[in-house]
Amino acid sequence: MRDDRPERVYGILVREGRAFLLRRGEAFGLPGGEFRPLAEDRKVELRGHLLDQLGIVARTIWAQGAFDYQAPGDDRPYFSGFYTVWEWDGEVPESAGRWVSSNELSEVTLPTSLRILLLSVLTMQALRTT
């Protein structure tokens, strides 16, 4: 397990048992992108990417994991941090991508590590305690 500073940050938007995949040309990936060298807060950077790419304002973000990932359009894999986004303001544009359930993940070409992470997130049940 690595504890390095990620080069990229990506969000896994979760709604009603589905995760959002951003359309990048003919491929699909997660919304997000570069974690700028002088940036200090991963969640702030991710919020900026989500606002720029989807027009939404993330409210609830949880750290999920990190591994080397080559997003569609990247020339190589980058060490990337992944974060689940459970609540946001605004609507994700329908034309921006595709919502998939755990059963629909096999219909989309994704790296194995990302497919496993998405399956884990989609099968996880969160309980709120008081």
Residue 99 placed within a domain:
yes
Residue 80 placed within a domain:
yes
pLDDT of residue 123: 86
3 state DSSP class of 23? strand
Higher-pLDDT residue of 2, 11: 11
**pLDDT above 70 (res 128):** no
CATH code at position 109: 3.90.79.10
Beta pairing class for 18-24 and 57-69: unpaired
Alpha helix segments (H runs only) across 56-125: 112-123
Residue 3 placed within a domain:
no
**pLDDT above 90 (res 127):** no
Tell me which residue range forms the domain holding 79: 8-123
pLDDT of residue 90: 96
Residue 19 placed within a domain:
yes
In tens, the pLDDT along 42-79 reads 999 999 999 999 999 999 999 888 999 999 999 999 99
Q: Quote the number of domains for the chain.
A: 1
For residue 57, report the phi and psi dihedrals to the nearest 5 degrees.
-115, 110
Residue 130 placed within a domain:
no
